[in-house]
Structure 1
């Protein structure tokens, strides 16, 4: 039952993430709101990368980020990021389809080499926080980036403010 709910949410939210990433314009790909922020392209690539992490989170008991060699395109290439996103969504979907409600109760740990950075926690808690909520957090940041650069923000949960006032 929990897995079915996660799958339904995943499918719904993937479409919203896709719309948001498709709204990232090449002309503003290097925009960053502060010196310590990612560029718009780096943020888009990070969002796409989170979908890759579904596999390690849902299929491994200990996920070592240091051992994972992920090939990404250049963050300045939004088309490469969109392709990367789509490939990662397919991997994430397969990983979600392979889990059970029982496996969501099993302990899970993230490491970077010898250092534990998250967990051990029940895999289901990690799925909600590190995967689903993590994506939503960064999508919110992307909306701020788009608005700060004067770009149109797609409606993710109905019309945006700008759409509702007739802009």
Structure 2
């Protein structure tokens, strides 16, 4: 868990940038892609990541402008990407202006349990990673290029003139 707000913000900057790269790579045509009937679509997953910033941070009392949890999925990929960009920047600004390291120790009700703000941030952090992984599979199924997040993607290896690792 995070014990220092600066450390969280440094790590979050990388993760939010990765999420933004995924959202920016979506197309309107790809939004309905799903692994199978009855599962979340690529558009719904992107919107879920976007609106979860509002949902999870609402438990901490942090107030900022954001796409609201429970609001309908937009019709275009650009709307989803822009809403994430705006919501994330608004959240980070509110944290910098209103929180200190001591805030991370505060406890709040989260789904019927008492969680520290630090734990809430860690769960929000891993939640983004989890759903981005799901999204990359759906992106491949939809024929989209997947940006490398923790290293080069298959297409990026080719652009570097190297074969992608087989192992």
Matched ranges for 1:14-93 at <5 A? 14-53=16-55, 55-59=57-61, 70=69, 72=71, 74-93=73-92
Match of 2:4 in 1: 2
**SS in structure 2 of the partner of residue 24 of structure 1:** coil
C-alpha displacement at 1:13, in angstroms? Answer: 1.7
Structure-1 separation of matches of 2:115 and 2:56: 15
Aligned residues of 1:22 and 1:82 also touching (Cα < 8 A): yes
C-alpha displacement at 1:137, in angstroms? Answer: 0.7
- 1:127 corresponds, among 116, 121, 125, to 121
Q: Which runs of 5+ in 2 are unaligned?
A: 63-67
Structure-2 separation of matches of 1:158 and 1:15: 14
Residues 122-153 of structure 1, C-alpha deviations (whole Å, 9 max, x = no match): 11111101x11111111111111111222210
Residues 3-33 of structure 1, C-alpha deviations (whole Å, 9 max, x = no match): 1100101112221111110111212211111
Aligned residues of 1:153 and 1:160 also touching (Cα < 8 A): yes
Match of 2:103 in 1: 103
Structure-2 separation of matches of 1:83 and 1:72: 15
Structure-2 separation of matches of 1:118 and 1:140: 28
CA RMSD of superposed structures (Å) = 2.2
Structure-2 separation of matches of 1:89 and 1:119: 25
Residues 97-125 of structure 1, C-alpha deviations (whole Å, 9 max, x = no match): 12222121111113xxxxxx242111111
From the superposition, tell whether residues 70 and 147 of structure 1 become closer, same or farther in structure 2 (CA, over 3 Å): closer
Match of 1:64 in 2: none
- 1:141 corresponds, among 134, 141, 148, to 134
Structure-2 separation of matches of 1:70 and 1:34: 24
